[in-house]
């Protein structure tokens, strides 16, 4: 009864709580693992999961002088370009500095186009300050610039700025859309179709919202393409126990690095129309296309090219971000979503929902503006901007190829071409003995493999199980972002480790 000693009488709530099983373990706290939101407990996010926490511990141990078979941890677990040494685009940062401290507009060190962009953004801000709230949907002129960007990108397909919402990174837009979609209980609970492998934001958000995750598998043998028959199988299966309402696609793919063909996108749109599904297109890697013959096609563009029977009916939300492509500005949490064919009453609800969070971070909105309204031919910053952009994208293309090639030289590792995005997701053969040992330890086999690699080499990858994979197959996700020299060392170490691991457990 120690825990009651400070109270004249046992508080009522506490007495009730005592009745439940595990309360005593937590010294009668109000909020315990047993009394907390069960949906939160179900959420998983491998990209920042246990392996990353261990990596951070190891880094600390290294700093404290603990001896390891390596001198640094190489983090290839997350698409964090600047952390891996990629340089920001000069023009973007000049404008952000000008917007942050407008006194600099009087300085001669900045090019005129940077100043005029800054002036335009500031004029659109309350009190001409990045420190004012923007309208809930985002700064008007930024949404107009986004709309014009989408129109240019999609060969003139019209875009209404009123359909554009500025978001806190793409993640925030995706979660908001899922939140609108989810309702019902039991067999009428909302189901959302997501690719497997998937980016774990989706599974986590669905767990959070208590929705049903409906898996469809990408075809690894056909470079992670989407098969119509698999979509049909998955949907038919799901309809037995829930109400599937939405289909999510990530293109270019995360973690799988494929770029979907125009034909595939057409098929998916037709499928969504036929099956009455809301489409969500995660297109944050739209500039990250490397493989010859591959091209980015936005769902919006293909939807409109399929004609009015589709473009007037299929509901689509597409997402973009400042975090990827050639800018890699993750820390600013900038992004937008465009909604097409959304019911006007629902749109009003969406606007209300985002208004409660007040607004997306205004510096991120400003950055999003620069991405969609970058320097144009004839402007003073154009040449430097293009040089920087091209250099970054070429380097990524080179590293994508390098990664694929080296990984495919390793017996027991098979890697699809990294056509786009920022990751390879190779298939790894694990010896039966390793699988057994992992299971004995209560670990998923590819987690066991990645954890061992981290301890032995300092390389931090994410196990395939964190993204989902076909039963009995194993993978890891590795970013292609480290500088070329370091990437080569990393790949050599992965090779060496894989051979050693295979031998050890054979």
Q: Which of residues 13-72 bind a second copy (CB under 8 A)?
A: 13-14, 17, 26-33, 35-38, 40-41, 43-45, 48, 56
- Both tokens of 437, joined, read 């040992």
Q: Which of residues 133-152 bind a second copy (CB under 8 A)?
A: 133-136
How far is the CA of 376 from the CAs of 114, 364, 380, in angstroms? 12, 21, 9
Report CA-CA distances (Å) from 288 to 206, 244, 261, 325, 384: 27, 31, 15, 5, 20
> Cβ closer to a second copy: 135 or 294?
135
Cα 475 to Cα 377: distance, rounded to the nearest angstrom: 44
Find the angle CA(433)-CA(405)-CA(415) to the nearest 5 degrees: 45
Q: What part of residues 68-97 is at the interface with a second copy (CB under 8 A)? A: 78, 80-86, 88, 93-94, 96-97
Q: Scanning residues 255 to 294, which ones bind a second copy (CB under 8 A)?
A: 273-278
CA distance 370 to 277: 33
The nearest distance, CB 223 to a second copy, in angstroms, is 28
Q: Measuring CA to CA, which residue among 161, 155, 435, 162 is closest to residue 298?
A: 155
Taking CB under 8 A as the rule, does residue 104 contact a second copy? Answer: yes
321-350 binders of a second copy (CB under 8 A): 327-333, 341-343, 345-346, 349
Between the CA atoms of 489, 492, 496 and 498, what dihedral angle is there, to the nearest 10 degrees?
110
- What part of residues 376-435 is at the interface with a second copy (CB under 8 A)? none
The residue within the footprint of a second copy, chosen from 131, 155, 156, 411 (CB under 8 A), is: 131
Q: In the β-sheet with 243-250, what is the strand arrangement from edge to edge?
A: 164-168, 334-340, 316-321, 278-282, 243-250, 190-196, 212-217
Structure tokens at 403: 């990664």
Q: Which of 71, 123, 229, 309 binds a second copy (CB under 8 A)?
A: 309
Site for a second copy in 350-379 (CB under 8 A): 352-353, 355-364
For a second copy, give the closer residue by CB, 75 or 452: 75
Minimum CB–partner distance for residue 437 and a second copy (Å): 26
Selected binder of a second copy within 24, 183, 386, 391 (CB under 8 A): 183
- Rounded to a whole number of angstroms, the minimum distance from the CB of residue 226 to a second copy is 19
Instruction: Give the separation between CA 50 and CA 442, rounded to whole angstroms.
Output: 14
Interface positions, 201-240, toward a second copy (CB under 8 A): 201, 204-205, 208, 239
State which residue, 69 or 307, has the beta carbon closest to a second copy: 307
Among 24, 132, 228, 391, binds a second copy (CB under 8 A): 132
Minimum CB separation of residue 391 from a second copy in Å reads 16
Burial status of residue 361 (CB atoms within 10 A of its CB: 0-12, 13-18, 19 or more)? middle
Token duo for residue 161: 């700025």
Least separation, in Å, of the C-beta of 489 and a second copy?
18
Asked if 445 and 474 touch (Cβ cutoff 8 Å), the reply is yes
Query: Cα(420)–Cα(98) distance, rounded to whole angstroms?
Result: 33
Q: Considering beta carbons, is residue 81 or 164 the nearer one to a second copy?
A: 81
């Amino acid at each position: 009864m120690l825990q009651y000693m400070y109270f004249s009488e046992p508080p009522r709530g506490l007495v009730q709580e005592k009745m439940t099983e595990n309360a005593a373990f937590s010294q009668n706290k109000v909020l315990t693992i047993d009394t907390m939101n069960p949906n939160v407990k179900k959420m998983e996010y491998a990209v920042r999961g246990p392996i990353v926490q261990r990596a951070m511990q190891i880094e600390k141990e290294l700093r404290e002088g603990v001896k390891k078979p390596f001198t640094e941890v190489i983090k290839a677990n997350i698409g964090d370009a600047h952390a891996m040494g990629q340089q920001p685009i000069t023009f973007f940062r000049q404008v952000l500095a000008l917007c942050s401290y407008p006194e600099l507009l009087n300085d001669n060190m900045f090019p005129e186009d940077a100043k005029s962009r800054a002036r335009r953004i500031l004029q659109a801000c309350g009190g001409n300050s990045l420190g004012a709230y923007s309208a809930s949907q985002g700064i008007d002129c930024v949404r107009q610039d986004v709309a014009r960007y989408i129109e240019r990108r999609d060969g003139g397909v019209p875009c209404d700025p009123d359909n554009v919402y500025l978001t806190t990174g793409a993640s925030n837009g995706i979660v908001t859309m899922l939140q609108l979609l989810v309702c019902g209980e039991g067999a009428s609970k909302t189901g959302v179709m997501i690719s497997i492998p998937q980016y774990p934001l989706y599974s986590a958000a669905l767990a959070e919202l208590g929705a049903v995750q409906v898996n469809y598998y990408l075809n690894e043998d056909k470079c992670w393409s989407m098969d119509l028959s698999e979509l049909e199988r998955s949907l038919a299966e799901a309809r037995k126990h829930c109400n599937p309402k939405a289909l999510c696609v990530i293109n270019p793919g995360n973690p799988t690095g494929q770029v979907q063909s125009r034909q595939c996108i057409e098929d998916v749109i037709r499928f969504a129309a036929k099956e009455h599904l809301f489409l969500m297109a995660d297109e944050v890697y739209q500039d990250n296309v490397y493989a010859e013959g591959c091209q980015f096609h936005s769902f919006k563009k293909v939807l409109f090219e399929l004609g009015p029977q589709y473009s007037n009916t299929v509901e689509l939300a597409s997402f973009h971000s400042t975090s990827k492509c050639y800018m890699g500005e993750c820390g600013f949490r900038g992004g937008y979503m465009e909604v097409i064919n959304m019911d006007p009453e629902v749109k009003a609800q969406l606007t209300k929902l985002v208004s409660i969070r007040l607004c997306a971070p205004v510096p991120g909105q400003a950055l999003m503006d620069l991405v969609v309204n970058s320097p144009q031919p004839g402007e003073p910053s154009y040449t430097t901007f293009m040089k920087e952009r091209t250099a970054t994208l070429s380097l990524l293309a080179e590293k994508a190829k390098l990664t694929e090639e080296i990984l495919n030289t390793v017996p027991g590792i098979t890697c699809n071409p990294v056509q786009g995005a920022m990751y390879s997701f190779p298939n790894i053969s694990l010896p039966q003995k390793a699988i057994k040992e992992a299971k004995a330890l209560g670990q998923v086999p590819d987690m066991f493999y990645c954890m061992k690699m981290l301890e032995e080499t300092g390389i931090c990858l994410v196990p395939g199980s964190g993204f989902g994979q076909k039963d009995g197959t194993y993978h890891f996700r590795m970013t292609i972002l480290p500088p070329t020299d370091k990437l080569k060392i990393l790949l050599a170490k992965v090779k060496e480790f894989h051979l050693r691991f295979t031998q050890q457990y054979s």
